[in-house]
Structure 1
Amino acid sequence: MTVVGSNGAALHSAGKNHRAILGYLLIHSSSVVAMSKLLDKIWSGAPPRTARKMVHNAISEIRRSFGSDNNEPDFIITQSPGYRLCVDPESVDLYAFRRLVREANELVVSGDLPSASARFRAGLDLWDGDALSDLVEAGFRWPELGAIENERLAAYEAFFAAELRRGRHHQVATELDGVLAKWPSRERLGSQYMLALYRSGRQVEALEFYRGVRRRLNEQLGIAPGIKLERLHELILQHDPRLDIDPAVSMPVNGLPLF
Structure 2
Amino acid sequence: MRFHVLGPLQVRDGDRPVRVSGIRQSATLGHLLLHSNEMVPVSRLIDAVWPTRVPPTGRQVLHNAIFRLRGLLAEARSAGRPVELLRDGPGYTLLVDDDSLDLLAFLRLAALGRRELREGRPDSASATLRAALGLWRGPALADLAEHGYAWPELRALANDRSAVLLDRIDADLALGRYADVVGDLEHLVEADPLHEQVCARLMRALYETGRQADALGLYRRTRAALIGQLGLEPSPRLRELEHAILNHELDTVPAGELVPGARGRG
Common fold: TM-score over 0.5: yes
Structure 1, unpaired ranges of 5+: none
Distance in 1 between the 2:19 and 2:183 partners? 37
Q: Tell me if 1:75 matches 2:81.
A: no
Instruction: State the AA in 1 paired with 2:34.
Output: I
Contact 1:108 1:162 in 2 (8 A): yes
Contact 1:218 1:224 in 2 (8 A): yes
Q: Tell me if 1:143 matches 2:152.
A: yes
Q: What SS does the corresponding residue of 2:13 show, helix, strand or coil?
A: coil
Distance in 2 between the 1:185 and 1:16 partners? 37
- My pick for the range that moved more, 111-120 or 172-181, is 172-181
- My pick for the range that moved more, 84-93 or 205-214, is 205-214
- Of 210, 220, 232, the residue aligned with 1:201 is 210
Deviation at 1:239, TM superposition (A): 2.3
**Structure 1 residue aligned with 2:256:** 250
Q: What SS does the corresponding residue of 1:139 show, helix, strand or coil?
A: coil
Instruction: State the AA in 1 paired with 2:231.
Output: I
Superposition map of 1:68-217 within 5 A: 68-71=74-77, 73-217=82-226
The one-character-per-residue Cα deviations of 1:77-133 (angstroms, maximum 9, x if unpaired) are 111111111111222111111111111111112211100110010001111111111
* TM-aligned CA distance change 1:185 to 1:54, over 3 Å: farther
Q: What SS does the corresponding residue of 1:5 show, helix, strand or coil?
A: strand
Distance in 2 between the 1:76 and 1:180 partners? 42
**Structure 2 residue aligned with 1:33:** 40
**Structure 2 residue aligned with 1:232:** 241
The one-character-per-residue Cα deviations of 1:160-209 (angstroms, maximum 9, x if unpaired) are 11111111111111332344445555432222111100111101111122
TM-score normalised per structure 1: 0.86
TM-score normalised per structure 2: 0.84
Distance in 2 between the 1:123 and 1:42 partners? 28
Deviation at 1:33, TM superposition (A): 0.1
Distance in 1 between the 2:201 and 2:258 partners? 14
Q: Tell me if 1:47 matches 2:44.
A: no
Q: What SS does the corresponding residue of 2:75 show, helix, strand or coil?
A: helix
* TM-aligned CA distance change 1:53 to 1:6, over 3 Å: same
Distance in 1 between the 2:205 and 2:193 partners? 16
Q: Tell me if 1:7 matches 2:14.
A: yes
* TM-aligned CA distance change 1:12 to 1:184, over 3 Å: farther
RMSD after superposition: 2.4
* TM-aligned CA distance change 1:71 to 1:36, over 3 Å: same
The one-character-per-residue Cα deviations of 1:7-44 (angstroms, maximum 9, x if unpaired) are 22222212222211111111110000000111122222
